[in-house]
Homo-oligomer: A and B are copies of this chain.
Amino acid sequence: MSVRLGILSLLAEAPSHGYQLKADFEARTGGVWTINVGQVYTILDRLQKDGLAEPADRDADGDRRPWAITEQGRAVVERWLTEATVSPAPPRDEMLIKVLVAVGRAPEVALAVIDHQRTALFRLLQEARRATPGSADLAERLMAEAVRARHEADLAWLDRCEALVTSSPTPPSDSRTEDPR
């Protein structure tokens, strides 16, 4: 859904065509979130089907196929940008799932998983800090900072997990914790 709305939002700025929209989308996200070109064409078809975009006049173009946003589409973008993205349940996250599932096991397992995760995350964070020498364009910098901020938050959370798992009243072998075999 987010890619679709991102594309539509770009169309709200100016008419464009598939290949260009892909490039623009990736530029806006600092080159971090690439998309398959094919998907853009699919999205454009669906946007048309939903009355949010339509083929635009192809002035003096080559083999490009320009698209424009419709009034309805403009309204959708307007709403999207105005209303904040806040779900009660945050998007599912693989790392959280992994750690939380592991925490349900024996403490040693949980602690090992937490430690692996933390080590890897820490390495990532170091790389992230080393990169972005203040250079680059706005999008790249913002994306880099977002990633950094999340990594730091996740690291702090992992520490917290470790603390709680270690100090918890050790629910040792209840119900289905002990694995047979």
Contact = CB atoms under 8 A, between A and B. Distances in A.
Contacts of A161: 142
A44 interface: no
B177 A14 contact: yes
Nearest to A2: B94
Interface residues of A, number: 81
A139 B81 contact: no
A75 interface: no
Interface string A61-87: 000000000000000000011111110
Interface string A136-155: 00110111011101101110
A149 B154 contact: yes
A120 B86 contact: yes
A86 to B, nearest CB: 4
Nearest to A93: B91
